[in-house]
Structure 1
Amino acid sequence: MFPSRKFDFVPIAAPNFALIVSGMSEPRSYLVCASQRSGSTLLVESLRATTVAGNPEEFFQYLPSTSRSPQPRQWFESVTDETVLSLLAPLEPGTADTRTAEQWRDQLLSVGRTPNGVWGGKLMWNQVPLVLDRAAGLPDRSGDDLRSALGDILDRDLAFIHVYRRDVVAQAVSMWRAVQTQVWRDDATPPAPHDGAEYHADGIAHLARILRDQDVQWRNWFETEGLDHIDISFDDLVAAPQATAAKVLVELGLDADLAPPPPLKRQSDGRSKEWVERYRSEAAANGLPL
């Protein structure tokens, strides 16, 4: 399930001679390719919990101008509707990231790698411009495209894992609540019934368009580049998180028995379901995306 095209490269980590002697393959580094609220956090936290599958984080979300991930209003830069914008926190200035491209890459590689040499990370399509911008500052570039940038930053024998969510409306509702509350991480506690988030069909519709486009862009990129990849659906991941993580570990050349019980539980409550149903009922009449 991996790319058929191979590249010559110099590994960053030293070879594992024990694996070579035993005839086993070296475990592979990987990048989880996803969109927000797709279930990717559950997968990467499961992989992290093995202690041998890298330390995957969303390394590419931090904007150089603020050293912060995109703030709520930055998801709505093209929106002028004050009834939407008034529900979002104002922008905060943050602090500019002064690291060079090489310093940024070296830190990213160090933090994301486990002692066995496996590196793990997560990339959303909206973060691709940051990858390209950072890679542009590296010496000895192999090209200006995303494939080259990832190879120059990470590893030319990288495995790709595509996490997606079929129900984009539910995904957009989840994200709409997250941008209002600024609570992004799933844990064992369902969202509070009165967490301050308010329903707004146009806010959900705006995010649904973004999220759908991100997944289309990933699929187009895999096809254009001829890249094989591991496909993981939100539904399968939520239904069987441990079994899904085990399958990914096998594809990475690691022991499936290391897959842990789910370290996170899905955030879900009746309010989100009500919003999904309400949005669907309004969408057809108002020309909103489904």
Structure 2
Amino acid sequence: MSDRPRSYLVLASQRSGSTLLVESLRATGIAGEPHEFFQYLPETSLAPQPRQWFAGVEDESVLELLAPLRAGEPSTETAEQWRDRIRREGRSSNGIWGGKLMWNQTPLLLDRAAGLPERSGTGLRAAIVDVLGEEPLFVHVHRPDKVHQAVSFWRAVQTRVWRAPAARGSGDTARYHVLGIAHLLRILKEQDARWREWFAAESITPLEVNYRDLAADSTAAVGKVLLELGLDPSVAPAPVLERQADVRSNTWVERFLIDAAEQGIPL
């Protein structure tokens, strides 16, 4: 029997390239159905909405650029129903499971897992194992250029469009705001720091995927993950999504760097 993991969990922060990775893995047909299972708030059954990323921000010039909150509907799933659905929906026909987890979603995972019977522990690693039924391969996607990442995030929360090619044209409705970008930059830096602290505390060495490498050759990056799972890397597809970065994003990055220097915003 193979000692290769039969599941993997992509760990990331928003706009790091994780969607390109998981959609490419899904496209192989043999690497699970890696959805972002842990993003949905039980009180609304929705993912965090634009204004929820700006809790505590009172500057109306920022808030007016964000869509109003939707009420949603509370989830009625029990903890066991939630776990069983995640196990079922994330698995491909060959038994491989895939999923994605952002650091801001870990409190939700811990809270929902707390209701499961026969827990193996109370920490994040135990919650992951108890939900999946096994320890997965941890795949860490990270983007070194945090300013570009924050600009991408700021455009996405305004347009509510998260992937190309649908984002073409939609991004034109977004407006530059130095404080909006700075707020998200702090969040992204914090998320990456928390992941690295957790890896160190748990003595976990994840499979690292750098955004630069992923953007340059997604086929090779997907092949690395497939190899770790004991799967055929030759089925890794050509890029399945277009890059959303464009001239406008680059212009905003340059403008933000100037504004941040003038206003004393740490990078």
TM range (shorter): over 0.9
5+ residue gaps, structure 2:
none
After superposition, the C-alpha distances for 1:168-192 in whole angstroms (9 at most, x for unaligned) are 01000001011011111x2235632
Map of 1:62 onto structure 2: 40
The superposition leaves residues 245-289 of structure 1 with CA deviations (integer Å, 9 ceiling, x where unpaired) of 111110111111110111111112111110000000111111113
Over aligned residue pairs, what C-alpha RMSD do you find? 1.3
Name the CA distance, whole Å, in 2 between partners of 1:64 and 1:193: 29
Residue of structure 2 in register with 1:224 after alignment: 201
Moved over 6 A (4+): none
1:64-109, CA deviations, whole angstroms, 9 ceiling, x for partnerless residues? 0100000000000110111101111111100000100000110111
Instruction: Note if 1:262 corresponds to 2:243.
Output: no
Contact 2:159 2:171 in 1 (8 A): no
In 2 relative to 1, CA 269–92 (structure 1 residues): closer, same or farther, beyond 3 Å? same
2:128–2:135 contact (8 Å) kept in structure 1: no
Distance in 2, matches of 1:81 and 1:71, equals 17
* Partner secondary structure for residue 195 of structure 1: helix
Structure with higher Rg: it is: 1
Percent identity for Structure 1 against Structure 2: 60
TM-score by length of 1: 0.89
Alpha-carbon shift at residue 26 of structure 1 (Å)? 4.6
**2:146 is aligned with 1:165:** no
Aligned length: 267
Q: Which of 4, 13, 29 matches 2:7?
A: 29
Q: Which residue of 2 aligns with 1:77?
A: 55
Q: Provide the C-alpha distance between the structure 2 equivalents of 1:142 and 1:189, rounded to a whole number of angstroms.
A: 42
How far apart, in 2, do the equivalents of 1:238 and 1:175 lie? Answer: 17
Matched, 1:133 2:111: yes
Does residue 1:44 correspond to 2:4, yes or no?
no
1:279 is matched with which residue?
A: 256
1:244 aligns with 2:244: no
Once residues 230 and 246 of structure 2 are traced to their aligned partners in structure 1, the CA distance between those partners, rounded to angstroms, is: 37
Q: 1:150 to 1:194 in 2, by over 3 A?
A: closer
Q: Please say if residues 84 and 202 of structure 1, whose CA atoms lie closer than 8 Å, have aligned partners that are also in contact.
A: yes
2:245 is aligned with what amino acid? S
**In 1: Cα distance, 2:112 partner to 2:170 partner:** 41
Asked whether the 8 Å contact 2:155–2:171 carries over to 1, the reply is no
Could you say which residue in structure 2 is the equivalent of 1:142? 120
Tell me what 2:130 maps to.
152
Q: More displaced, 265-274 or 32-41?
A: 265-274
Shift in CA distance, 116/76, structure 1 to aligned 2, threshold 3 Å: same
Q: Which amino acid aligns with 1:150?
A: I
- What is the letter of the counterpart of residue 89 of structure 2? V
Paired residue for 1:203? Answer: 180
Which of 92, 96, 100 is matched with 2:74 structurally?
96
Contact 1:35 1:125 in 2 (8 A): yes
CA distance in 1, matches of 2:64, 2:56: 14
CA contact (8 A) 1:193 1:271 kept: no
Post-superposition offset of 1:222: 0.5
1:182 and 2:160 are equivalent in the alignment = yes
Q: Which runs of 5+ in 1 are unaligned?
A: 1-19
> In 1, are the aligned partners of 2:9 and 2:98 still within 8 Å (CA)?
yes
